[in-house]
Amino acid sequence: GENVEQHPSTLSVQEGDSAVIKCTYSDSASNYFPWYKQELGKGPQLIIDIRSNVGEKKDQRIAVTLNKTAKHFSLHITETQPEDSAVYFCAHNSGGSNYKLTFGKGTLLTVNP
Amino acid sequence: DSGVTQTPKHLITATGQRVTLRCSPRSGDLSVYWYQQSLDQGLQFLIQYYNGEERAKGNILERFSAQQFPDLHSELNLSSLELGDSALYFCASSAQGAAAGYTFGSGTRLTVV
């Protein structure tokens, strides 16, 4: 199916710790996996993405890993800061579709100073 | 500023009424996507247009319709409004397709009373 399961729904960490959010999908034809960050009162913003021909991608403190065999992908944030507090959404293009992205239900990350 | 402009930012209207939400995509983007965000359903795909043509439809109610004009701006029309239609409505745009990532606008918050 096209749904994507995202866990956990809420995550609270201390500043400086790492945070990991995981998403699981079922459609083997999906080949594009972006992550979005949504701050209060704003629209979701693309922070990192990965394609199915790559296993890992890193951008400063943010990394995404993809396990195509197990059909899951994860967002890793290291050295968390209070400004990382937001809702994070994973997404995928179910069926390899170029027409839409299907989103997970989101993870509320709180970084405590 | 993401480059995607949505108006109005807030809208309060009564049940049974009709409203129009407007979206101007980022310069050069041909695809426009509409999503509904509610607390319990997350980001739900409504409809996609590419260069004036409808390309994909999600779980969009018959009371809702959309179009994309020659200047590429898009409008989402919601009619016979119900309390349950209260939500954030986001527009996103992309240069080509969903598999290249979206840029979201800041949304329109619709409250039906």
Q: Which two tokens stand for residue B9?
A: 């930012």
What pLDDT was estimated at residue A1? Answer: 66
B95 in contact with A, Cβ within 8 Å: no
Q: Which two tokens stand for residue B64?
A: 């809702």
What pLDDT was estimated at residue B65? Answer: 97
CB contact under 8 A, B99 and A97: yes
Residue whose token pair is 């969009």: B60
**Pick from B4, B102, B105: which is nearest to A101 by CB?**
B102
Listed residue (A33, A1, A99, A78) closest to B98, CA to CA:
A99
d(CA A48, CA A23): 14
Task: Flag whether pLDDT at B26 surpasses 90.
Answer: yes
CB contact under 8 A, B101 and A49: yes
Q: Which two tokens stand for residue A73?
A: 């992908």
Q: How far apart are the CA of A29 and the nearest CA of chain B, in angstroms?
A: 12
What pLDDT was estimated at residue B54? Answer: 94
Top residue of B9, B33, B35, B43 to mutate, by most chain A CBs within 10 Å, is B43
Q: What is the DSSP code (8-state) at residue A24? A: E
Give tens-digit pLDDT for A14-65. Answer: 999 999 999 999 988 899 999 999 999 899 999 999 998 889 999 999 999 9
d(CA A78, CA A20): 9
**Interchain CB contacts (distance < 8 Å): A and B:** 60
Instruction: Please provide the average confidence, as pLDDT, over all residues in chain A.
Output: 94
Average pLDDT score over residue span B31-41: 90
Residues of chain B positioned with their CB less than 8 A from the CB of A89: 42-43
